Amino acid sequence: MRDPVVVSNTDEISARQLLGTGITGAPEPHISNGTILTVTLVVNGQSIGDFSSNIEPPTIDVAALPPIPWNLQARSPSGRVLTSLQVQPGDGQANNATGQFVDLLCGRLWIWVGGVRPFLIQSSSQFRSAPPPALGSAQWATEFNEVKNLGRATGSTRTDDQTYKARWWQSAPVLSWNEVARQLIARNDLNAADSARLLALENLSGADAAINCWNDKYHFDFWRPWNAIPRALEDGNTATDPDSTWTALLTAPYPEWVSGHNCLDAAHVSVLRMFFGDAPGSFQITSTFVNPGGPAVRTFDTFSQPLAELIVARIWAGLHYRSADVQGQALGRNVANYAAANYFQPVGH
C-alpha cells in the first residue's frame, strides 16, 4: 500500500499529476496527460464538491472540516475512480508557524511530485532524510548565518566568481549529467547494450531521487532562508538575528529540506562513477542559465569537483542551508546504490 499522499485541496490537479500516483485496477483506455478528470473532495464518504482538473477548484474552508483524513478521488469521463489520494488535514495550506515553509511564488504546486510511484525504489519515502537541525542548536545558528552572509541578493560577502557559479548551477541536473554521459559513452566506446544500461540506471535513479526528495520536502516542510532570516526572533536562538530586508540571490517554489538539485546530482554522478570512476578525464557541462556572469561551458576533471562545488553553490544562491545540500547528496547516492544493486544487472557474462 502506498504512503498517504499530502496534497492541497486548493491546487489545480492535472491528469498527469493524478495518474502519476498510480491507478487502482487496470488502466482505462484513452486516458492521457491531457484528459480532463473530475476530482472530488470526500469527507466521511460524502462529497464536498466536484471540479474539473483543468479549471480552478473551489476554495474550501479547511478550518470547518473535521480533523480526520480526507480523500481526493479522480474519476475518468466515464465516472470510474482512477485513484484516491489521502489528504492530511491542514497540510498543503499556507502555514506561518515558526520553522515552516511559506511559498513566495505559486502555492503548493509541486507537492504531487513526492507522491508519484517510484520506478525502482520501494516507496517514495524509502530513504527518508535525517531531520533539519533544531532551531535552538548551535548547528542551526552556524548554517543560518552562513547563508545569511553569503546568499543575499545584494550586499553579500560573495565574490563575483561565487555569484557566477551560483547562477551557473541553476541549470537542470538531468540535462547536465546526460550531456556528460554522452561524452563519456563516446570516448570510451561503450556498445549499445552498456550505453542503454548506463542511461537507464542513471535516469531512473535520478527520477526516483527526485520523488524521494520531494517527499522529504513536504514531509519536513522546513523554511527556506528567505522565510527564516526576516523572522529570526521566532527561532529562540540568541545567535541568530533577523534582517527584514534580506532577499535571496535565487529562489524556488518548494520547501527547503532537502536540496533537490543535490539529490539529482548525486544520483546521476553515482551511476557515472560506477561506469567510469571518479576521474574519467575532462568533461564539459553547459549551463542553461541565461547570462550567469561568465562562460556557459565549464570543464571538470573529476566528479568530486562539481559535487563539492554544488554544496556551497546552493548556499551562495541563498537557496539552502549547508546540511540540506549534504543530506540531498546522501539521498541521491542511496537511491543510485539501491537501484544498481537491484536492477539492470549485467547478463550473459
Q: Specify if 298 maps to a domain.
A: yes
Q: What is the mean pLDDT of residues 195-220?
A: 95
Clarify whether residues 68 and 153 are in a common domain: no
Nearest Cα residue to 259 out of 310, 333, 203, 204: 310
- For residue range 37-81, what is the model confidence (pLDDT) as tens digits? 444 444 445 444 444 444 333 333 434 444 444 444 545 455 555
- Give the per-residue pLDDT at 140: 98
Clarify whether residues 257 and 335 are in a common domain: yes
- pTM, 2 dp: 0.75
- For residue range 232-291, what is the model confidence (pLDDT) as tens digits? 999 999 999 999 999 999 999 889 999 999 999 999 999 999 999 999 999 999 999 999
Q: Specify if 297 maps to a domain.
A: yes
- For residue range 81-137, what is the model confidence (pLDDT) as tens digits? 544 444 443 344 446 788 888 775 444 667 778 888 899 999 999 999 999 999 999
CB atoms within 10 A of CB 155: 9
Clarify whether residues 133 and 275 are in a common domain: yes
CB 192 within 8 A of CB 287: no
Clarify whether residues 40 and 172 are in a common domain: no
Q: What are phi and psi of 222, to 5 degrees?
A: -85, 145
The CA distance from 209 to 335, in Å, is 6
Nearest Cα residue to 271 out of 220, 196, 221: 196
The CA distance from 249 to 242, in Å, is 17
Q: Which three cell numbers stand for residue 243?
A: 534582517
Q: Specify if 94 maps to a domain.
A: no
CB atoms within 10 A of CB 218: 24
CB 138 within 8 A of CB 219: no
Clarify whether residues 177 and 119 are in a common domain: yes
Q: What are phi and psi of 85, to 5 degrees?
A: -110, 130
Clarify whether residues 53 and 138 are in a common domain: no
The CA distance from 74 to 338, in Å, is 32
CB 36 within 8 A of CB 77: yes
CB 66 within 8 A of CB 102: no
Number of folded domains that form the chain? 2
CA atoms within 13 A on the CB side of 341: 7
Q: Specify if 101 maps to a domain.
A: no
Alpha helices in 120-172 (DSSP H): 138-150, 160-168
Per cent of the chain over pLDDT 90 is 63
Q: Specify if 137 maps to a domain.
A: yes
Q: Specify if 48 maps to a domain.
A: yes
Clarify whether residues 46 and 115 are in a common domain: no
Clarify whether residues 71 and 172 are in a common domain: no
Q: Which three cell numbers stand for residue 94?
A: 499556507
Partner residues linked to 284 by β-bridges = 299
Clarify whether residues 64 and 122 are in a common domain: no
Clarify whether residues 30 and 75 are in a common domain: yes
Clarify whether residues 142 and 219 are in a common domain: yes
Nearest Cα residue to 82 out of 109, 125, 124, 53: 53
- Give the per-residue pLDDT at 228: 97
Give the residue numbers spanning the domain of 57: 15-87
Q: Where residue 325 sits, what CATH number does that domain have?
A: 1.10.606.20
Q: Specify if 6 maps to a domain.
A: no
Clarify whether residues 264 and 134 are in a common domain: yes
- For residue range 288-301, what is the model confidence (pLDDT) as tens digits? 999 999 999 999 99
Q: Specify if 70 maps to a domain.
A: yes
CB 342 within 8 A of CB 273: no
